[in-house]
Amino acid sequence: MDFKYETPQLIMRVCNRGDARMVYDFYRSNLLDFAQYEPIDMKAATTLVYYESLLDIEMELLIKREVVRFFLFEKSNPFRIVGTIAFRELNLAPHMMSCMVGYKIDKRFRRRGYAREAIYTGCDVMFHDEKLHRIEATVLPDNVASSRLLEGLGFVREGLLRKKIKLNGSWRDHYLYALVNEDV
């Protein structure tokens, strides 16, 4: 697996501690929006030190082949993050070969096809380079745009995970989607 890929509109790359300011700016401008969909420690997530530590941890997890996060940059502006896609819970055991995918796009850059390009490219990398058999995603039932995006990429809704993730103090149901690599 490489640390950098290109799509028609994007550069997808792994960031490190030296990129912490860009990562901080990306999250800072989207923090309240992202908190609707994922648990966020709102106090910690407002400091640069938090993102430096986060990038250090993610680099360690990448080396261990447990997590890989690509930050997304427009080709026309490779110094501003417009989104991220992460493959986590990588299970490379021969009888599993699976992971979870999560993604987010800066609210100012949505509806440009960036998530579609990143998910398509990222899943292709995970299927071909890492030889995964299955990639899963969870989506809140009221997140229709994300459900349509995944379905358009070939993910199949497999069921409802009741009270799966605690968001803003409440346990929330999530749909489970999966994309299966039939070639593995």
Q: Is residue 43 very low, low, confident or very high in pLDDT (cuts 50, 70, 90)? A: confident
How far apart are alpha carbons 163 and 109 in whole angstroms?
30
d(CA 55, CA 84): 13
Q: What are phi and psi for residue 112, nearest 5 degrees? A: -120, 0
pLDDT tens, residue by residue, 138-157: 999 999 999 999 999 999 99
The CATH H-level superfamily of 4-180 is Gcn5-related N-acetyltransferase (GNAT) (3.40.630.30)
Helix (H) or strand (E) holding 138: strand 134-139
CA proximity to 123, closest of 149, 141, 143: 149
Q: What does pTM read for this prediction?
A: 0.93
Q: Return the domain boundaries, the chain.
A: 4-180
pLDDT for the residue 19: 96
pLDDT in tens, 64-112: 999 999 999 999 999 999 999 999 999 989 899 999 999 999 999 999 9
- Among 115, 163, 114, which Cα is nearest to 138's? 163
